[in-house]
Amino acid sequence: MKTEKQKMLDHELYDANHNPELAAERLAAKDLCFEFNQTRPSESGRQTEILRKLLGKTPQSFFITQPFWCDYGYNIELGDNFYANHNLVILDAAKVTFGRNVFIAPDCGFYTAGHPVDSGRRNQGLEYAHPITVGDDVWIGGGVKVMPGVTIGSNVVIAAGSVVTRDIPDNVVAAGVPCRVVRAITEADRENPHRFGK
C-alpha cells in the first residue's frame, strides 16, 4: 500500500493535512526557510549554506533574495546562474526544475499543488501535485504565478502579472491571464533591447 508521500510524488490524490511524515517534512523546510529569511543580507555565505541544505539540487552559482518560502525543498532543482528576487514562493509537492540563466522578478509563485474541484474530497484535505519545468535563459516578470503541470520552454520571457496555466514553447514572449504567446523572440530583440511588445 502506498504512503501518502508516495502518492504525492506519483501525482495522485493524497492527504497532505493529516499525514505525520509530510507534516514533519514541511515543518523542517519551514524552519530552514525561517532561518534563511532571518539572516542578515550581508551573510551571503550563511544564506547559501542554508539553501544548499534545504533544496534538492543547487548549482555552483545561484542567488535567492529574502524572503523565500517553500513546502519541502527537496523537490526544487536550480540550474546554474539562477536568480530570484524578493518574495519567491514555491509549493513543491512535485518537482520544480529550473534550467540555466533563469531570472525571477519579485513576488512570483510556482505552485505544483492543487485541490479537487469536488468539495467533498477537497474538504477531506486531499490534494494533488504536478511538476513544473522551466527551461534555460528564461526571464519571469514580477508577480507571475505558474500553475501545476506547466512547462515553460527555453529563451522565454513571461510578462509581469501573468498567470501561466498551460505550456509555453521556446523562443517567445508570453503575457496575460491566462498567459499566452504574444510573439516570437527575433534578431530585432538583440538590436533593440528595450523592445517588448509587438
Q: Which of 18, 115, 130, 194 is catalytic?
A: 115
Say whether 18 is catalytic.
Answer: no
- If DSSP codes are grouped into helix, strand and coil, which group holds residue 194? coil
Cell, residue 192: 533593440
Give the torsion sign (CA, 169, 170, 172, 178).
positive
3-state helix, strand, coil in the chain (%, to 5): 25, 30, 45
Q: Which residue in 69, 187, 87, 185 sits closest to 197, CA to CA? A: 185
Residues annotated as catalytic (active site), given as ranges: 115
